[in-house]
Chains A and B, each alone.
Chain A
């Protein structure tokens, strides 16, 4: 079962839930794999003592425009959906704007004059790690200055699914745009982590609408319960969205987290809570698929 841990709002506790959940799955005897798909800022693996095994470089297509062969017909410019080709025929200027290019190859298909050569650029990597008990961990990481996170997320999940593991826990990017959707579509069950604040609710609604539109099964963990207001609870009740659990707002949890430690290893009540969460997720995930 592939389980994505996601949220609309950033900073609600995706990584906290992912890492502690992973530890709990393991201690309950399940075969689990932790995959960090928050490729713009991967940090799940900081909570474990790991050794790197290997890196797989992720590349994206790039066209190279040969200005000697170019007849300045402008077809590549017209085909480009992202304005990534800067084309001023009046000044005989044409060039690729690397930061806008999505590597879709439409320009190359358009060119009838052989003026575009195929090339690629490195945009990030998928890294494999191992702990002392030979458990594998995966991390997708976008290269600094690059903007295309989707190919990295796709490659990371592809690698994860090639490893046989009963439960694949995917720490997703915040937000509700493409990175979130990419992890959600490849998951059987999505854990939405929110907080009981107006910001948490606003972004939770967007995440729920997105998941409903792609027919996904999900439940909500309310993190830092005890702060904010009751609007999140009202919304969940009104829309009949299951609450998997509430994690209390606690200075102790925050302290362990900030020290790079897993709360389930130190706080018995949090250990029990995560065991309950694990069982619910397995039950909820299985009830649909």
Chain B
């Protein structure tokens, strides 16, 4: 299973980005291979609709879960439609720490 985690930078020591739609990077973690791929969020500077466009973006990676500091109201129903479970983490954890939690 793949999980998208919003990240401020492109390393596993980076802190989670508290915003979903306008996060800097998505860390795409694969629970089977244990590999993490960092992809730049193309919607960070979008004029409008960064949230829905980011749902589309991570859905194209076939992720089943998304971890972020918060999710805007426009995207909650879209997440359900593409079957992505939302996980909110409000503490400033690193990507590595979140990956460890996912593996517990």
Q: A interface vs B, CB < 8 Å? A: 81-84, 86-91, 93, 97, 99-100
Contacts and interface: CB of A to CB of B under 8 A. Distances in A.
A83 B46 contact: yes
B48 A82 contact: yes
A82 B81 CA distance: 20
B48 A83 contact: yes
B49 A88 contact: no
Contacts of B52: 83, 86, 97, 100
Contacts of A100: 48-49, 52, 74
B82 A88 contact: yes
Interface in B49-72: 49-50, 52-53, 55-56, 59-60, 62
A84 B49 contact: yes
A99 B51 CA distance: 12
B47 interface: yes
B43 A83 contact: yes
A82 to B, nearest CB: 5
B1 interface: no
A81 B47 contact: yes
Contacts of B74: 97, 99-100
Interface residues of B, number: 17
Contact of B47 (A82, A87, A88, A97): A82
Nearest to B57: A88
Chain A CB within 10 Å — which of B43, B48, B55 has the most?
A: B48
B92 to A, nearest CB: 28
A157 to B, nearest CB: 25
Majority SS of interface residues in chain A? Answer: mixed
A83 B53 CA distance: 6
Sorted nearest first, the 10 A-B pairs with minimum C-beta distance are A83-B49, A83-B53, A100-B49, A82-B48, A88-B59, A86-B52, A88-B56, A82-B49, A83-B52, A90-B60
Contacts of A86: 52, 55-56, 78
A190 B74 CA distance: 37
A90 B27 CA distance: 20
B97 to A, nearest CB: 30
B50 A90 contact: no
A38 B47 CA distance: 24
A115 B82 CA distance: 22
A172 to B, nearest CB: 23
A9 to B, nearest CB: 24
Contacts of B48: 81-84, 100
Given A81-B48, A83-B48, A86-B52, 11 more contacts: A83-B43, A87-B56, A88-B56, A88-B59, A88-B60, A89-B60, A90-B60, A90-B62, A91-B59, A97-B74, A100-B74
A100 B51 CA distance: 11
Nearest to A99: B74
A33 to B, nearest CB: 34
Contacts of B43: 83
A239 B74 CA distance: 43
A93 B49 contact: no
A164 B82 CA distance: 55
Nearest to B51: A83
5 contacts: A83-B49, A86-B55, A88-B59, A93-B82, A100-B49
